[in-house]
Amino acid sequence: MQSPIHVTSEIGKLKTVMLHRPGHEIENVYPDILHRMLVDDIPYLPIAQEEHDYFAKTLRDQGVEVLYFAKLAAEALADDQVKDEFLEKMLAESGHATGAVHDALKEYLLSMDTQAMVDKIIAGVRKDEIQTKFVSLAEMAEDADYPFFMDPMPNAYFTRDPQASIGDGITINHMTFKARQRESLFTEYIIKHNPRFANKGVHVWRDRYHDTRVEGGDELVLSDHVFAIGLSQRTSADAITDIARNLFKDSNYDTVVAIHIPHNHAMMHLDTVFTMINYDQFTVHPQIMDGGKIDTYILHPGKDGEIEIQHRTDLQKVLEEVQDKPEIDLIPTGNGDPIVAPREQWNDGSNTLTIAPGEVVTYDRNYVSNDLLRKHGILVHEVRSSELSRGRGGPRCMSCPIVREDLKN
Ligand SMILES: NC(=O)NCCC[C@H](N)C(=O)O
């Protein structure tokens, strides 16, 4: 049976992608919780939605089928028993496993139709939306001023991160920060219960029930046998080892390249500083290379299920070797300028979404990087970015490829 997920590169023609249109969750962010919600500012929702619709249209105009995360989730919860089981897990992960608040939230959420319930969970539930019969001492005495029973998920529009397609399978990710961990519970239900994916042979390379952390922004499918992953603020070495072991055991993947990037918010994932845009072309933020060097580890299957690891520091050479190309063109964000490069990287100038070999979608605001891409022969579709960029992610972060065409060579 052909899996409904098929992604054997970063650059093969994009056929199907999963997005999330930002919704009311954005309006539930206020200054006191900005840091904890992992955003630096509050997008203006109507414009963010316009920009997102334009992004979706740009993809559709290029023949891409656009699926929406929240719709897939609602479809997955069509059966009442599945919905009940999901809701119990979601409430528990939101801090209400039992008790009066749990009961009131459950009654409130079940009073809605399923799509409205999913949208509400993503948006967050304020305390003043529901009446509880009793409150516990903890609710009365601790966090009394905190306005939410269920936190909003303002990062849901970065559909790249809670999961990642690799080959005919997926990783469903245990994400680093609490602010994003519940997002992948939706993915679990989509894969298990949405008719598009359920019982269709999707291989789950790693599920979300682990202590170690991985996020899709770090996961790059370089080819049908080479997988690159950031060793980053969000993805730990143990998780990388686990994914490598599972890929080596059950797939064609025989090479995992772990790239150590700075552990900070501006460069939280590998795709904020490095993306693949053509067979032999990549964007790279110059500041991750210390004099051209960066700690890189190549993992291969060893004897008896062991993993062999080589430590290298020349990323360009590593890419030439694993991609089997005589030369790799590394295109520096902001043309490597000491002011332009970090400024454009901050607004996701390296975070290109490749929709076909040598054809990308980028934010319009990164005009220096975009011009340079064009000079290197890349076809660039620019999308609007005044509000979307405030969430600290770009076109690659906002898209989860589900199907790409295989590369011809
Ligand atoms: N792949 C990505 O780099 N995604 C961007 C995620 C931004 C979000 N505010 C976060 O910190 O998780």
pLDDT grade for 373, boundaries at 50, 70 and 90: very high
pLDDT at 409 (0 to 100): 64
pLDDT at 142 (0 to 100): 76
- Atom number of ligand 1 nearest to Cα 215: 1
Give the mean pLDDT of 2-17.
97
pLDDT at 290 (0 to 100): 73
The structural domains of the chain, with segments of one domain joined by +, span: 14-18+45-69+154-404
Q: Which letter does DSSP use for residue 129 in this model? A: G
How far apart (Å, rounded) are the C-alpha atoms in residues 5 and 226?
Answer: 17
User: DSSP states of 258-285 as a string?
Assistant: EEE---SSTT-SGGGTEEEEETTEEEE-
pLDDT at 3 (0 to 100): 93
pLDDT at 38 (0 to 100): 95
Catalytic residue flag (residue 400): no
The class that CATH gives domain 14-18+45-69+154-404 is alpha beta
pLDDT grade for 289, boundaries at 50, 70 and 90: confident
- Atom number of ligand 1 nearest to Cα 397: 1
Give the mean pLDDT of 320-333.
95
What ipTM did this prediction achieve?
0.98
Best of 158, 184, 265 for a ligand 1 pocket test (most atoms within 8 Å of beta carbon) = 158
Give the pairing of strands 329-332 and 281-284.
parallel
Three-state secondary-structure class, residue 150: strand
Q: What confidence tens digit (pLDDT) does each residue in 204-244 have?
A: 999 999 999 999 999 999 999 999 999 999 999 999 999 99
Q: What confidence tens digit (pLDDT) does each residue in 338-354 have?
A: 999 999 999 999 899 99
Sequence letter at residue 211: D
